[in-house]
Amino acid sequence: MAFEETLLESEEKMEKSEEHVLHEFSGVRTGKASPALVENISVDVYGSPMRIKDVASITCPELRQLLIQPWDASTTSPIEKAIQKSNLGLTPSVQGKLIRIILPDLSTEQREKFVKAVKAMAEQGRVAIRQIRRDAMEALKKEGKSGVSEDELKGAEGEVQTLTDKFIKIIDEHLKSKETEIMTV
């Protein structure tokens, strides 16, 4: 039946929205180091822009330290410049072929700014999930015109709403966790 396909498709899209929100959260700076903080910074190497994670390995040897090891020593300087140009407020230190970044403590003002940014990301995720719900409801109504009983249509719409509520709750839980991480670390 087409209702099941619509429900499965909606659930997959909602899962992707959740994953996207989590990925966005990983790029927000907390008090501790995370490779996700710098991995997507664009670096001009070999005549084209590439992400840091495509030209170097990124590790966290300590709680508040990132270590970037370029695979090609000639990319060390461009990586350093790209990190300095980013809006993250990080100061890379080049030590031979390695780039070390020590994350400074965040001020209360910075933490609040990051919490505000994370809340905006979560709201974008919730809006995306509601849009998926709206699209699913429209699809169900179109399918409902093809001779399906009113009860089946209402049941399918109820399932879409249950999915929506579930994924919005999940995003809210991720938000609460990220807020706690930002404010306490």
Helices (H), the chain: 2-26, 52-55, 76-85, 108-144, 150-184
Chain segment 51-98, per-residue pLDDT in tens: 888 899 998 888 888 899 999 888 888 988 888 888 777 788 888 889
Q: Give the CATH number, domain containing residue 46.
A: 3.30.1360.40
Residues 60 and 149 in one domain: no
Structural domain span for residue 131: 2-27+107-184
Residues 68 and 128 in one domain: no
Give every strand in the sheet of 56-62, ordered side by side.
56-62, 65-70, 98-102, 92-95
Q: Count Cβ atoms below 10 Å from residue 91 Cβ, excluding itself.
A: 13
Q: What is the mean pLDDT of residues 15-31?
A: 83
Q: Which of 102, 132, 155 delimits the end of a domain?
A: 102
Residues 147 and 170 in one domain: yes
Could you tell me which residues come within 8 angstroms of residue 80 by beta carbon, excluding any fewer than 6 positions away? 92, 94, 99
Q: What does DSSP assign to residue 72?
A: S
For the stretch 101-146, pLDDT in tens is: 888 777 888 888 888 989 999 999 999 999 999 999 888 888 777 7
**48 in the same domain as 14:** no
Count structural domains, the chain.
2
Task: Please check whether residues 8 and 75 belong to one and the same domain.
Answer: no
